[in-house]
Structure 1
């Protein structure tokens, strides 16, 4: 009796994760992720002195670079991927497999939606790690980084759908240009609608976003992309009504953003502006965000503080912004242009700037006039040069008249110098006739 042959075993269907992995390797998706990462990193590297000392500056610049530069790139890459599917007839081939249209579209969109945010997150991680050794306080706004990544996923999805609908090869570059112009215009308008743009610029280190802004931004961008995806791929036609749900969520998320005040979703951060001071006299204080700079600033101001210590009318404390100095305080000059990675680049120039800020009286042209105005200006220049000489290659040379006053000051004894400085600080420097001659 002959044994009946066993029927051939059917191959097991490929796991869903294997299908997604295969889809992610196809087309321009990996190249799009790499291009996004390189674009952001090159942009950030070129502006490293402007952000590599504060978490807020780093995340703000990542937000603009990711939205304004990587956003159009995600649109173009998604559009090219979608057009490639249509031009090669991949859709017709996929119709022969037992998958629904929505599932097929989701798998096809995966490279366009996932690779650009992967590149953005990689670039953000590199930049935040490069910032970490130099910051003095605060925190990175990781919720905004995540919302930016979701915005890139939404833009890649929308670009893919445009490519499926318009498979012309020039659609991708035209969409990139259109996206860049649209994001740029939307980011710099004065309307509250600018905060709906994934590239809206904000540059104050003393602010923090309201807690709901990042989730609302994510719902806004992803809601629009999901609505477009369902409207395109849902079958049968009645299921397209499901697209109204994410569209309604996007509109609901946009409403509170559109009702924001002029400052947008940003509020003063009390921890960021908390003063951190040394134990000198006059005392030097910086904001908590800049505590890493305090030793450098204290050393830079040490020669000036030595002359001001104990002199009547001299400030008792150097106060940081914002908010302005209090009674008996002098405001520190801004250091953003002169500090890199938590260090002062030119302490002598910063010391000279501190003297200029110390004597920066808001005098009107009517007040600072008369026969003594020129003499008072020369004395002011002489006193400033005596307290903190202007570094070479900065400012203008001291003229002959101011040089005579400067030589007279230097020729005095230390006690006489302190007595003159007290008289100079006591005088109303907006009234030239009251400015004492050294």
Structure 2
């Protein structure tokens, strides 16, 4: 296949239109989420951008499948099918340039979508790993597989109804694992779908063996589509499923050995980045490194407030939800949910951020979360109730919190210290009823 023939296909086939449509829908999907103030679903991390593109394949993959079938009908639409069938040129020589052109345009459309999202992600994180590369590469490969499979089916069944039927059927098939993931834990079979169906965040990545298995499966599927397109006789199309079956046989054991969700925590994103300026240590996760400078001042103010407790902590650490306890007594833990990439710490002011750090006497909340006791402890350490950022609608919870505050302040100063210290001890190990601990000073 010469470059000249490929250039002709790129000019005259529908491949560029399909690629442009994939790019337009992909970019629209990304930025419609941003316009609805939900950009944090993909714009906070490179891996999340790559993963969100894979989620959008629930729409893009069926479109590529139908577009391939439409492209395969070109000879019939132009009335050239019988004429071209009489030429001595092998079928694969005539169809391969068209297939390559479609693959290139589909990949280009996917890359354009990635580039449109990268403009936003680049300004929201300093953490750049290579985990997003295989996720993106597999996504592009799935589109090629869809396009070639559609071309193969379109040549085998050259009906005008084949493209729309494939679009609808492809969408329904991909929608099934999405619905199953809402009611149960997805399994290995759902990982055979091109689109992702599980939730993830900036500390999550796709397991490497899952990406490998998916690449083998979709390479086989693409090979089967290409064989369907290139076979000279319909009866020889019986061998076309062989590449897909081989890919499936190799992929399923790999997927079965991986976590059911196909995801794992990214140790690089959750690694600590700390201050080294001689003052009390303040650490954030690598994924939230941009927020370190804004956290240092409030964190050290919180440590000064905590110094009134016995064996007071000496450092502040941002932690993710999966970090195991118990919390070390010499550390203050601030949950990573308090940071919004691109916007900074979620507190409305620096004082409110100090209060967030002081909540629960500098501890990460335990389940079930005792919001009232944690808020009272934070307000006591801050020195004012309600403390900045602590707002609650009037009602039973507000009355209970007010009563706990009045009861605490009515005690002798030494007893107040003991009660707050007991709250901290209980939350460090996640043991005991925190409301009872605040009321009695013991778990």
Query: One fold, TM greater than 0.5?
Result: yes
2:89 paired with 1:89: no
Once the two structures are superposed, the pairs formed by residues 390-405 of structure 1 within 5 Å of their partners are 394-397=391-394
What is the distance in 2 between the residues matched to 1:236 and 1:404? 84
Task: Give the match for residue 197 of structure 1.
Answer: 193
Task: Give the match for residue 3 of structure 1.
Answer: none
2:158 paired with 1:161: no
Task: Give the match for residue 176 of structure 1.
Answer: 167
What is the distance in 2 between the residues matched to 1:281 and 1:216? 48
The offset of 1:324, in angstroms, is 3.4
Q: TM-score, normalised by structure 1?
A: 0.77
Task: Give the match for residue 58 of structure 1.
Answer: 49
What is the distance in 2 between the residues matched to 1:192 and 1:302? 47
The offset of 1:88, in angstroms, is 2.8
Q: Deviations over 1:73-115 (max 9, x none)?
A: 2112222222343333333343354421112122333343332
Contact 2:210–2:258 (CA under 8 A) maintained in structure 1 = no
What is the distance in 2 between the residues matched to 1:420 and 1:361? 21
Q: Deviations over 1:331-366 (max 9, x none)?
A: 322327x5132623544465554444546765889x
Moved more, 78-87 or 286-295: 78-87
Q: TM-score, normalised by structure 2?
A: 0.76
Secondary structure (helix, strand or coil) at the match of 2:189 reads helix
What is the distance in 1 between the residues matched to 2:413 and 2:113? 56
Secondary structure (helix, strand or coil) at the match of 1:335 reads helix
Secondary structure (helix, strand or coil) at the match of 1:136 reads coil
Secondary structure (helix, strand or coil) at the match of 1:272 reads helix
Task: Give the match for residue 94 of structure 2.
Answer: 104
Task: Please report the RMSD computed on the Cα atoms of aligned residues, expressed in angstroms.
Answer: 3.9
2:59 paired with 1:69: yes
What is the distance in 2 between the residues matched to 1:98 and 1:20? 20
Q: Deviations over 1:371-409 (max 9, x none)?
A: xxxxxx977654444556566795325957855876899
Contact 2:275–2:282 (CA under 8 A) maintained in structure 1 = yes
Contact 2:22–2:109 (CA under 8 A) maintained in structure 1 = yes
2:290 to 289, 292, 313: 292
What is the distance in 1 between the residues matched to 2:378 and 2:312? 14
Task: Give the match for residue 278 of structure 1.
Answer: 275
Task: Give the match for residue 7 of structure 1.
Answer: none
Change (3 A) 1:309 1:99: farther
Secondary structure (helix, strand or coil) at the match of 1:395 reads coil
How many residue pairs match? The answer is: 407
The offset of 1:39, in angstroms, is 1.4
The offset of 1:277, in angstroms, is 2.4
Contact 1:333–1:353 (CA under 8 A) maintained in structure 2 = no
2:440 paired with 1:434: yes
Change (3 A) 1:431 1:132: closer
The offset of 1:145, in angstroms, is 0.9
1:246 to 243, 247, 258: 243
Contact 2:340–2:346 (CA under 8 A) maintained in structure 1 = yes
The offset of 1:154, in angstroms, is 0.7
What is the distance in 1 between the residues matched to 2:62 and 2:353? 41
Contact 1:217–1:253 (CA under 8 A) maintained in structure 2 = no
2:136 paired with 1:145: yes
Change (3 A) 1:251 1:51: closer
Task: Give the match for residue 29 of structure 1.
Answer: 15
Q: Deviations over 1:277-307 (max 9, x none)?
A: 2368764322222212222333454543331
Moved more, 299-308 or 94-103: 299-308
Secondary structure (helix, strand or coil) at the match of 1:99 reads coil
Task: Give the match for residue 225 of structure 2.
Answer: 228
Contact 1:53–1:342 (CA under 8 A) maintained in structure 2 = no
Task: Return 5+ residue gaps in structure 1 as ranges.
Answer: 1-14, 369-376
Change (3 A) 1:68 1:201: same
What is the distance in 2 between the residues matched to 1:254 and 1:173? 29
Q: Deviations over 1:208-254 (max 9, x none)?
A: 44444434322211212212331452347897686466345413431
Change (3 A) 1:94 1:421: farther
Secondary structure (helix, strand or coil) at the match of 2:284 reads strand
What is the distance in 1 between the residues matched to 2:247 and 2:129? 28
